[in-house]
Structure 1
Amino acid sequence: MSAHRPLDSGPPQAHGSISEDTVRALLAAQHPDLAGLPLGERFDGWDMAVFRLGDDYSVRLPRVEAAVGPLETETRLLAELGPGWDFPHPEVVRTGEPGEGYPWPWRIVNWMPGDTTDLLPLPDDAGAALGRAIADLHQIAPADAPYNPEQSLPLSERQADYDYALARLADARGPYGERLLLDVVERIWAEALAAPGPGEPVWSHADLHGSNVLAIDGTFAGIIDWGKMAACDRAVDLGFLYTVLPQDGVITAVNTYLEITGVDDAGLEARLHGVALTKALLWATLDRPLNVGMAWRALAELGASTPA
């Protein structure tokens, strides 16, 4: 991501063929045993369009060609790594090929019950469960693990994004009138850049924000959307938790994580604050209320904005 990239827009336009009729036709042609199941509401993320299929499945279709690679990554890594995880996550149960006017591969996965935590975050006491899940996930990544161009890079290479977003937000107001506390923002960023660097990169979800973390009655219920999985600094997934939990919940998650992993990483706290800060600043520039809301909530939990 560069400093001149336009960020004030929502997800890219989905391929025009994606519709309920197309999904029904694809199912009838390629998975006729599932074609009679009721097709539910369509949900659109940044990369994928998702339709619930019966009680037990969902259909995932790349919305744009750039999402085909992440779908293939998700399929491969869930099969290779997922069986070793002790937290709820989707499993790919069927594969689909282009057809019926739709140009790309698609998948059927098991339905994950729960509500995303983008509008309503988890409470503090859910932090321990998330810390355990991330500790489970964060195994040392091999040299050939995928590289995520937005999240696998070191903090120093995020400076252009930080400068871009801060220039746009210096006089901006959040959805409830919040404003940035520039001195706090600058302090968090300076401390992150000055912190000791990470050790070996670990397998990371790399997109662990509230739209990809599920809750049922205030308890952690799983992690979805694994297409951006890559080798990253441990601070990446932990920093994203500021969009999922209040500050005390993040602290609990990190402490639980450290107890389980036993990792000795003197710069982890400062770096995860830097990750959370840059993600929130960039999202606050978007023209997408859901992301903007998560962004300002994270800034508040970091102490980097005035109260709403």
Structure 2
Amino acid sequence: MHDDQVDVTGETVATLIREQFPRWSGKAVRRQSSTGTVNAIFRVGRDLAARFPLRAADPAEALAVLEEEARASAELAQVSRFPVPEPVALGKPGAGYPMPWSVQTWLPGTVASDADPSGSDAFAEDLAAFVAGLREAGTRGRLFGGTGRGGVLTDHDDWVGTCFEESEGLLDVERLRGLWSRFRELPRTSADVMSHGDLIPGNVLVTGDRLSGVLDTGGFGPADPALDLVGAWHLLEAGPREVFRRTLGCDGLEWERGKAWAFQQAMGVVWYYVESNPAMSGMGRRTLNRILAATP
């Protein structure tokens, strides 16, 4: 999926576990099929998951990222109303794999990209309850300090412009440019809240038609309250989307800003993953179609 991608095999993972965590050396190692774009995931036994960054990075810098993700995941686990993975250990480079890696608890369930809950009002209520629980945690004075989604919409003008250029022939770019020209001007009026930051189908677990867990919690932190509203557009059809909005109590401006963040994310994944990860690219197209259908 990436030019600088680092491949990792089950044999490598088994060797790393045997050498660094011998207490788990008897557990079966199985690679998990995933549309994820950041980590390769291996199930270790029945209750653990090992996560290996896919993109090459300086080992010291990568370790700092994993340590911060572990802190964020542990904090989110304390406030979530639904099961989330908890950090267990950090591994070191070895066996031909050049970067640190992480181990966390395994959660049962089916990812929402496979078990589509988009038509479920009950799932929409669950998703709203998850977001509400994070917001209630409080930022403890922390502010958004990143460069990704969750800060200022206009900071993403250059990236969205690149996406428009790369999407010629794939999408109705002229119409989409018109949407962004409106979205980028939506004012921010609310203080930061605690946010998951990436509520896409591949990060959400479903059992039946209910939310049973949320993955990829290492980005938990303060951000625009509208950021977690992307889940409404990535995960829900129109009826359940309104249930989500009503349950969470979103006003009109916040709702539109959530649409804007979903638009920014979807524009990026459609062209970038069109050949290397068609499922992710398809998610972006679906989200954009939902946004277009809901925007006069």
Q: Which residue of 1 aligns with 2:127?
A: 130
Q: Check conservation: 1:114, 1:214, Cα contact below 8 A.
A: yes
| Amino acid of the structure 2 residue aligned with 1:302 | I
1:181 to 1:46, Cα distance in 2 relative to 1, 3 A: closer
Q: Which residue of 2 aligns with 1:20?
A: 10
Partners of 2:73 and 2:170 in 1: CA distance? 40
Q: Which residue of 2 aligns with 1:151?
A: 149
Q: Which residue of 2 aligns with 1:278?
A: 264
Q: Which residue of 2 aligns with 1:79?
A: 74
Q: Which runs of 5+ in 1 are unaligned?
A: 1-9, 174-179
Q: Which residue of 1 aligns with 2:31?
A: 41
Partners of 1:70 and 1:146 in 2: CA distance? 16
| TM value normalised by structure 2 | 0.84
Q: Check conservation: 1:95, 1:105, Cα contact below 8 A.
A: yes
Q: Which residue of 2 aligns with 1:30?
A: 20
Q: Which residue of 2 aligns with 1:215?
A: 206
Q: Which residue of 2 aligns with 1:293?
A: 282
SS at match of 1:50: strand
Q: Which runs of 5+ in 2 are unaligned?
A: none
1:291 to 1:136, Cα distance in 2 relative to 1, 3 A: same
Matched length: 283
Q: Which residue of 1 aligns with 2:2?
A: 11
Q: Which residue of 1 aligns with 2:188?
A: 197
Partners of 2:75 and 2:231 in 1: CA distance? 24
Matches within 5 A, 1:159-174: 159-173=157-171
SS at match of 1:267: helix
1:302 to 1:146, Cα distance in 2 relative to 1, 3 A: closer
User: Which whole-Å deviations, capped at 9, do the CAs of 1:171-219 have from their partners, x for residues lacking one?
Assistant: 435xxxxxx3854x45643443343314211221212111111112232
SS at match of 1:151: coil
1:281 to 1:101, Cα distance in 2 relative to 1, 3 A: closer
Q: C-alpha root-mean-square deviation of aligned residues, in Å? A: 2.6
Partners of 2:162 and 2:138 in 1: CA distance? 32
SS at match of 1:234: coil
Partners of 2:279 and 2:183 in 1: CA distance? 27
1:58 to 1:222, Cα distance in 2 relative to 1, 3 A: same
| Amino acid of the structure 1 residue aligned with 2:31 | E
